[in-house]
Structure 1
Amino acid sequence: MTHLMPKTQPFVILGMPRTGTHYLEELLNAHPSVLSNGELLNTYDTNWPDTNRLRCSNLELLELAYLRYPVQKGKAHATHIGCKINQPQFLERPGFFEELARWPCLKAMLVVRRNTLESLRSLVQARQSGEWLKYGSDNGSAPPPQVALTIELCEAYFKAADDFHRQVVDSFAPENLLSIDYENLLDDPAGCMEAVQTYLGTSMHPCSHRTVLQRQEVRTLEQTVLNFDELKCHFSGGKHERFFETARGGLSCNGRIHVRPCSFP
C-alpha cells in the first residue's frame, strides 16, 4: 500500500447480472453518508471521468475506487465509499477478485436472485433489445422481447452463478459479507435498507420508495421464454428443477434477510 487508509468504510456490491445491484445502489446513494460510484470495471459508466482507468493495474484500480474516488455532488463528506461489480466483469480481469477480497476492512454485499433462470432471461432480453435500464419516464415503452434459451446456455449460466456465489462466500469473513435476496429487496426495500445500514454501520436513514428506476419485466417465465416447456423437461429431477416451478420466483419466500448464506448448491 502506497497511501494512508482514509477514514471511510469501503464496500462493494457483488452479483450476477440482472439481480438488482443497480437498484440497491440507487437506494444506498439516497443516504447522505454513502457514496457508491457505479460499475468500476465498466468502461462506459459515466460515474468515472477517467475513461482510461481500465489500463491500470488491479491494485491501482482499487486505489482509485477507495482512495482517489470521484466525489459526487452533495457527497463531499461521505463516510462509506463503494462501487459495484458483476460476475462477468471479473472474468475480464484475472486476479482482480482476489485483489479485491484482500482490500483492508472491505465489506461486501452479495445480491442473489432466487431464480437464476430469471436472471439469465433478463440478461438475454437486455442484450437483444439493447435496453438495460428502465426509468419512470419510460412507462410507455414496449415490454422486453420474448427469448429462446438453449439448454447449454442455461447449464453454463447456472454453474457460473453457483461458482460465483460460492467464491464470494469463501472469500469474505462472515462479519464482512451481507447477502441480500433480490425478491426481498423488491418486496421490502425499507427492511432491506435497515439491515444494510446496520451492517455498514451508518446512521439510520429512511428508505425512499420513490426511485426513478423501474422493473422492465413483470411477466412470468412461461410467458417470456419461448421454449420454457423444453427446458423444464430437461432439468426435471435435477438440482435446478426448482427454477422451473410455477411459484413466484421459483422458490417460496421466507421473508428473511440473510446476513450470510451458508452454502449454495
Structure 2
Amino acid sequence: MLVKEFKVLLPLTVEEYQVAQLFSVAEASKNETGGGEGIEVLKNEPYTDHPLLGGRYTKGQYTYKIYHLKSKVPSFIRMLAPEGALEVHEEAWNAYPYCKTVISNPGYMKDGFVITIETLHSTGSNLLENAHELQGERLKMREVCIIDIASDPVKPVDYKSIEDPKKFKSEKTGRGPLVLPDWYNKIKPMMTCYKLVTCEFKWFGLQTRVEKFIQDAERRLFTNFHRQVFCWMDRWHGMTIEDIRRLEDKTKEELSRQITEGQVRGMKGD
C-alpha cells in the first residue's frame, strides 16, 4: 500500500472551484474518449446515505463511471493483462467541499486492486498539516507532495501553450499569469485541494512497481487537470450548478457516442 497526499494550490475561491472542477471534468472526459477507449457514465444522481470524514458530510452527488483504458496503462501491464481486464470502475461521492472516489477492477483484480482518493477543499494557502485527520499507520505511511500548477514540470506530450498558467490571463477576472516563483503567497483569492491517494495492487512481483506508477500517474493527472481548471477560467466562470448539471447530461450523451468513434485520445501510459 502507498499513501500520498497531494496539496494543490489554486488562485480560486472554494465556491468557484466547485463549478470549475465539474466543468473541467466534463470537458476533460471528452478529451480522453474515443477509438474504443475512454469514459462511460452510468449514473449521476443525488445521494443522502454515504457519510464521509467521520460523518461530517452525508449528502451530495453520486457518480458511477467505467474507464476503458488499454493504451492508457504502461506497456508492461498491457503485456500481462488479459483482454477485457483493462477496464476500471469509478464510484464517487461528491459532498462538496469533501469528496471521495473509489476506483476498482471488479472484473479481473476484484479486491486485489483499489485506489481511494479523498479530497478536502479549503480556503487559503496556509497548508493544513493533517486535513484528512489520519491516525496510526496511515499517517506514518503518508508522503506529502505540493503541486504548483505554474512551476511544476509537465511531460512534453502533455504541454499546451493555451493551458500554461504562466501565459494565461483571465479576461473575466483579471487573474494570471502566474509568473512569480511564490505567486501563491502574493495573490488572492487562494485555496488548496488536499487529495489523499491510497492505492493497493496485490499482484506478487509487481505490487511496488504498479503502486509507484499509479501514484506518479495521479500526480501527472492532478497537475495537468488543475492547469486546465485555471486556464479554462473564462469558460466556466459565472456558471451555476444548474448550468453544470445540464452540461453533464449533454456530456454523458456525447461520451456514449464518442467512445465508439475516431481515434484514441488523451493521456497515454509510458
Q: TM-score, normalized by length of structure 2? A: 0.27
Q: TM-score, normalized by length of structure 1? A: 0.28
More strand by share: 2
